[in-house]
Amino acid sequence: MLFLSPAKINVHLGIGGKRPDGYHNICSWFLKVSLYDSIYVNLQPASTSVVIEGNAGVPVKADLMFKAAELFYEESGISGRCIIRIDKKIPIGAGLGGGSSNAATVLMALNHLHGAVLPVDRLYELCSRLGSDVPFFLGGPSAVVSGRGEILREIYPKRSWWVLLVDPGFPISTREAYCWFDTEIEAQQELHPDAEDLRLLIEGPTEKWRFFNAFSPVLYRRYPVLERICAGLASGGAVHAAVSGSGSACFGLFETHAGAVKAVSKFSGMRFWLKETLAG
């Protein structure tokens, strides 16, 4: 059976100080977009191992889909395993949440195919064990995300946007980005805006948006092309343009399809996608 695994963008990302568990507190707006990996799941009742196909360059034991499947079978007590094949469209190391989305999709898929043996709250618990961004992909199209990523407040924007995603052609390690941030930036201990103020900004008019990505200074310093891409998106008419997450993909949000199409000409020679934000 086929399951679609969407990408996300961080329209806003504030980063707070380090927590006792080694993670940073964040305050972010996650928004799903219509760029999908296609995941095919084939149950193998007589098998004793999970097989992953199509995720080139990712060692099987390190693959979040493999970890998600093994975790599901351990927690559910179901015998047998599965074959998971992925048609990968979301770039790796781009800040678009592809690996986290894939993990959540595999958990949901296996739970569905086995008759919903685990309740939704248990799935959220398993997602949290797999990674900070994974729980978001179990829910709706948009959320204010806080804590280390496990606190979700779903929101439903009054409209959708066209999204121009631009891939600069290289990945960025999230772990390295946080190391640069810790070395060069003094994290806010109190995040501004906080989750409630961020929700009010999202629900307000775009001309009052004051979103930012706290990673931007360290990323722009190392990869000036990212700043040029974001500036090109902004000058091309985006209501907001930024790097997504820890990078490397950049995005612009546009009011109209025509406006987004017009901006495409600025990025000839680069890989890009023209997509929409998802609605509830």
Which residues are the active-site residues? Answer: 8, 133
From the list 119, 215, 131, the residue with the least C-alpha distance to 176 is 215
From the list 163, 159, 162, 158, the residue with the least C-alpha distance to 256 is 162
Cα 138 from Cα 127, distance rounded (Å): 8
What are the tokens at 23?
């993670």
Pairing state of beta strands 240-243 and 250-254? antiparallel
Contact call for residues 125 and 74 (beta carbons, < 8 A): no
